Amino acid sequence: METIRWDKTCRVVQENTGKSVMAEVINLKDKQRLIVNINNAANMTMIWNGKVYEGRLAGMDFVSSGPEIHKMKDNTKGRYHR
């Protein structure tokens, strides 16, 4: 059996200025959709474009490579390893 987990935060970059911020990951469907919360103020849905997740909020475009994903396999003793 395999368990998939991801980090609780990821870096989101505003495309025009190049400024980045760490955002809280609300939900992830790997290589489909990423929902993040920026500065505890606004949720943004980002869609996978084949390379990165893209989203738009308050008239600004954002991109993210998403959170780091950890896949762990269950061994016979019930412990996890990577």
Low-confidence ranges of the chain (pLDDT < 70): 75-82
Tell me the domain boundaries of the chain.
2-81
Distance CA 50, CA 64 (A): 12
Kindly report the pTM of this predicted structure. Answer: 0.83
Distance CA 19, CA 11 (A): 10
* Amino acid identity at 39: N
- 8-17 pLDDT tens trace: 999 999 999 9
